[in-house]
Amino acid sequence: MEITIDMIKELREKTGCGIMDCRTALQNSNGDFEKALEELREKGLKKAEKRADRVASEGRLEVYIHAEGRLVVVVELNSETDFVGKSESFKELAHEIALQIAAASPEYVSEADIPAEVISAETAGVTERVRAEGKPEAIIPKIVDGYMKKFKDEKVLLNQKYIRDESRTVADLINDKVAALGESIIVRRFIRWALGETTKQPETEE
């Protein structure tokens, strides 16, 4: 199949990868866009994995203010290098994550950030509730597991469905940029404040 300039341009816009990398991926996949996209993602992720021991301490603090100052989000997004941290692609990602936090109100960055006591309390609460509803003991663990998965998917930023495309998660969104830029990207912490809230949104740090 002939690889056209338009095909290369579309793949480059989708991934942020270089022209030659996009051309090679399309040639390897015989023009199959999805296969070429997956090849570039895997290549970028593998490159980032090799650099996993490097500290991601560059990046930016993204501030998003909504509804004339009634809602404010601050998120720290880290990269390995200042070069990547100042790139338009990285800035766009930081902005999208801030929008996600504003719209979806996560409480934690990753599952590892959820305190053990919160997990215990949620697990105990749902177990007691379904038992009181008369559910058979044999199926209670399955119900609890399903509830806890839903709880984490709602409360954990990386697990949440991306607000612009619910077929993907925030982690998928970040991994796309990791694949394109070839270095680690980490959501370090965030704060979400809404006017009139009586409780402070907990600061989350990896």
Domain that holds residue 30: 5-50
Rounded Cα distance between 152 and 194, Å, is: 22
Region 177-195: mean pLDDT is: 89
Could you tell me if 98 and 10 lie in one domain?
no
> Tens digits of per-residue pLDDT, 60-90?
999 999 988 899 999 999 998 899 999 999 9
Residue 119 lies in a domain: yes
- Kindly report which listed range (1-15, 123-137, 143-157, 178-192) carries the lowest average pLDDT score: 1-15
Q: Residue 50 corresponds to which amino acid?
A: K
Could you tell me if 87 and 9 lie in one domain?
no
53-58 long-range contacts, Cβ below 8 Å, gap at least 24?
A: 54/80, 54/183, 54/184, 55/80, 56/80, 56/183, 56/184, 56/185, 56/186, 58/82, 58/84, 58/85
> Tens digits of per-residue pLDDT, 136-172?
999 999 999 999 999 999 999 999 999 999 999 999 9
* Total structural domains within the chain: 3
> Tens digits of per-residue pLDDT, 21-57?
888 889 899 888 888 888 877 777 666 565 555 667 7
Residue 63 pLDDT: 96
Reply yes or no on whether the pLDDT at 193 is more than 70.
Answer: yes
Residue 55 pLDDT: 63
